[in-house]
Structure 1
Amino acid sequence: MDKEISAIQAKYEAQKIAFAPLIFQAVMALKKLGVLELMGRHYEGISIAEIIRQTGISRYGAGVLLEAVAGAGVVRYLDEHTVQLTKTGFMLHADRMTEVNLNFVNDVCYEGAKSLTGSIQSGKPVGLKKLGNWSTVYEGLSQLPDNVKESWFAFDHFYSDNAFPVALEIVFQEKPASIFDIGGNSGEWSFACCDYDGDVQLTILDLPGQLALAKRNAEARGLLPRIDFYPIDLLDERQRIPAGADAIWMSQFLDCFSEQEIRAILANVARASTPNTSIYILEPFIDNQTFEAASFCLTGTSLYFTCIANGNSKMYTLQTMTKLVQESGLTVVEVFPNIGTSYHSILKCKKS
């Protein structure tokens, strides 16, 4: 890119990065104050006086916010007194993926991101202390403040849930009678399986705090007779995954661990498997996305893992994950790339 732009343009791009945290918060303020929503209803343009009248913010407040985000391409001035959302502004107002990402960064990542340098140096999620006193975010998910928890799960579910309809068809081609849902979080995949097949039995394997949440959700859906709950800390190599599943499912799970930890977890999976067990890994891989924005979001998500989640994991490439599978006593027998309308691929694996 540097060869394609002038030094003056490069300097401008650098200033965008320098002021990015303030511009981000200006956008969040415009959303919270109802300005973007109001402008979205007046896509042809709206007077600043009308914005002030309908939202109750001061002339000063409207001025500094709108001027700042105009420089970032969020709004444009039609004249001195009238503003209009750009296409970028409309995405910030109405696009669900953008909303999920904004809330996740603001509520989960923002305060802790200043500790990124310390996290890189220590290999620990130093920024997590802004949310609570845990070693990893997963230990404290059930204890997060409601707004943080809501943003975390919305982010997690938005990207995985869109993959579920096609994923269910893939997994149930072999008509499994029992499925292990490893790292099942709130239980969404297990519930989807129960809805898809009236006979399948599920076991959710996760940390105790997460299992408590999944169990409450299962009880609310009347699914306790069909779902078992198996507490396990997969970072403790002494704890073994039980045998007996026809299929083992891991959805956006392995990206929560370092390469060394992934090898150990997959080796644990291999020990629990027979040659007939099908193992499915659902992940959004950096290197096989259709859209540039998706790859950009994934590399940004890696920084969340560094400073908030655990300090040592990231979003992986398909090539890296395939190598880790092969090094763990498993073989990738089929790849289902970019399934449905999601950003995910499925690796179907068997015991080597």
Structure 2
Amino acid sequence: MRKKNDLSRYNREIYSALDAITEAQKIAFSPILFQAVQCMRNEGLLSYLDQFNQQGAKIEDIYHNVKLSTYAIQLLLDVALSMHIIYLKDNHYVLGKVGHYLLHDEMTRVNFDFTQDVCYEAMLHLQDALKTGKPSGLSVFGDWKTIYPALSQLPEKAQKSWFEFDHFYSDRSFPLAFPHIKKLKPKHIYDLGGNTGKWAMYYANHDPDAKITILDLPEQIKLAEDNIEQAGLQSRISCYPVNLLTATVLPNQADIWWMSQFLDCFSEEQIVSILSLIHQHMHDDATLCIMELFWDRQPFEAGALSLNASSLYFSCLANGNSRFYHSKVFYQCLNKAGFHVEQDIDGLGFGHTLLICKKR
């Protein structure tokens, strides 16, 4: 089990006065600096420096090979120096570690594209969203109450970046969660909030004895059914269109009720409501399995920062009232709904926790 993030870091001042004012300037100019890095990536400035490793490139060679004006190149290089994305060595510009990760770290790329294509313009509405509890930023894409019915209708770049962001984290946790679920020997799994069917298809391909039913909004079910048909898994995976916020009746044949990155899409009150509905319909000997990202369970501070920042997406774009929670919140919700946690398993994929729960 990986070490959890040291939460005591948040109980004290960590900056000197000089460091604090530097951090404050980074925040003040962060939207501008973000777009500058976007230009460096898109125009090939970072990738050009990358090919020279630690030797770096002369300014004249950069002028010749990067298709921007000398003014634009010099300005971006100066910004990159201030951000410590690059550094100077013997009058050569060298790509630093931050620049390397901006180019080659898939998690950074996915987060960056999600911020640019999905969140950037919408975040101008964040203050209104936080005041009203409604996803005011969603108006930049259309007139919907939440983002979930809109996913199939988002602009191409935004849709691509949304699904890459969602799948990047969940896909890497599935192989690590699978043995824990397989050990329970399920005959029938309900995949609540099954989205595009990724988990259902993964499980069906690795356990030929299990039947899976996806329960999700009708709009999402359509996406899942298309993917299931392409994978040739119609005989193993079925779909049940339902809105879990308004439903009063659920099917009750499963011995495993599974949710992955689903309950973070709801407020605490809604989580308790959904869990109570499940508690009402599941068999007494069935098992509830919840895989979630909790900011307090991250092994590194960067993970906690990413989750808390991503929570602002839920506020501004997704539905206005959900987030990535502290794990204790989920324990409280489970307790209110009549469940207890038999086992919690940290460190799955990029910081996921698996909660294996039973009725009290």
Query: TM-score when scaled to structure 1?
Result: 0.95
Shift of 1:4: 5.3
After superposition, residues 123-134 of structure 1 pair within 5 angstroms as: 123-134=133-144
Quick one: distance in 1 between partners of 2:256 and 2:118? 33
Distance 1:241 1:120 in 2: 33
How many angstroms does 1:77 deviate by?
A: 2.5
Deviation at 1:11, TM superposition (A): 2.0
In 2, the alpha carbon distance for the partners of 1:3 and 1:178 equals 51
The CA distance in 1 between the partners of 2:99 and 2:315, in whole Å, is 29
Offset at 1:246? Answer: 1.2
Alpha-carbon displacement from aligned partner over 1:88-117 (angstroms, at most 9, x marks no partner) = 111111111111110111111110111111
Mapped pair 1:348 → 2:359: no
Instruction: Tell me what 2:177 maps to.
Output: 167
Q: What is the distance in 1 between the residues matched to 2:37 and 2:68?
A: 15
After superposition, where does 1:280-299 map in structure 2 within 5 Å? 280-299=289-308
Aligned length: 349
Structure with higher RCO (Cα < 8 A, 6+ apart):
2
User: What secondary structure sits across from 2:232 in the alignment?
Assistant: coil
Instruction: State the Cα deviation string for residues 144-175 of structure 1 (Å, max 9, x = none).
Output: 11111111111111111111112111111121
Q: Which of 162, 168, 178 lines up with 2:188 in the alignment?
A: 178
- Equivalent residue of 2:291, what SS? strand
Q: Work out the CA distance in 1 between the residues paired with 2:277 and 2:13.
A: 48
Matches of 1:6 and 1:278 in 2, distance apart?
50
Amino acid at match of 1:232: V
Matches within 5 A, 1:179-258: 179-236=189-246, 238-258=247-267
3-12 or 279-288, larger mean C-alpha shift: 3-12
2:100 alignment partner, SS class: helix
Deviation at 1:298, TM superposition (A): 0.7
1:20-74 Cα distance to aligned partner (Å, 9 max, x none): 0011111111111122222222122112332332231111111121211221111
SS in 2 for 1:224: coil
Which of these residues, 280, 287, 291, is aligned with residue 271 of structure 1? 280
1:141 alignment partner in structure 2: 151
Hey, what does 1:58 align to over in structure 2? Answer: 69
Alignment of 1:80-119 (within 5 A): 82-119=92-129
* Superposition deviation, residue 5 in structure 1: 4.2
State the distance in 1 between where 2:238 and 2:294 align.
30
With the length of structure 2 as denominator, give the TM-score of the two structures.
0.93
Q: Does the residue aligned with 1:46 lie in a helix, a strand or coil?
A: coil
- d(CA) in 2 for partners of 1:267 and 1:83? 59
Q: CA deviation at 1:78?
A: 2.7
Distance 2:252 2:279 in 1: 10
Match for residue 317 of structure 2?
308
- Among 25, 28, 41, which residue is 1:31 paired with? 41
Q: 36-45 or 194-203: which moved more?
A: 36-45
> For the Cα contact (< 8 Å) 1:233–1:239, is it kept in 2?
no
- In the alignment, the residues of structure 2 paired with residue 4 and residue 325 of structure 1 have an alpha-carbon distance, to the nearest angstrom, of 35
Alpha-carbon distance in structure 2 between the residues aligned to 1:84 and 1:316: 40
Deviations 1:204-239 (A, max 9, x none): 111111111111111111111111111111121x44
Runs of 5+ in structure 2 lacking a partner?
1-8
1:78 aligns with 2:89: yes
Structure 1 segments unaligned to the other structure (5+ residues): none
The answer to whether the 8 Å contact 1:244/1:272 transfers is no
SS at match of 1:225: coil
What SS does the corresponding residue of 2:134 show, helix, strand or coil?
coil
Change (3 A) 1:4 1:328: closer
Q: Aligned equivalents of 2:136 and 2:39: distance in 1?
A: 27
User: Which portions of structure 1, spanning 4 or more consecutive aligned residues, are displaced by more than 6 angstroms?
Assistant: none
RMSD over aligned CA atoms reads: 1.5
- Residue 60 (structure 2) pairs with residue 49 (structure 1): yes
Q: Distance in 2 between matches of 1:9 and 1:244?
A: 58
Counterpart AA for 1:285:
F
Q: Which secondary structure state, in structure 1, belongs to the residue aligned with residue 235 of structure 2?
A: helix
The reply on whether 1:333 has 2:308 as its aligned counterpart is: no
C-alpha distance in 2 between matches for 1:243 and 1:319 = 28
- Show CA shifts across 1:252-310 (max 9, x none): 00000000000000011111211211110000111111111111101111111111111
2:4 maps to none
- Residues 208 and 231 of structure 1 are in contact (CA less than 8 Å); yes or no, is this contact kept in structure 2? yes
**SS across alignment from 1:174:** coil
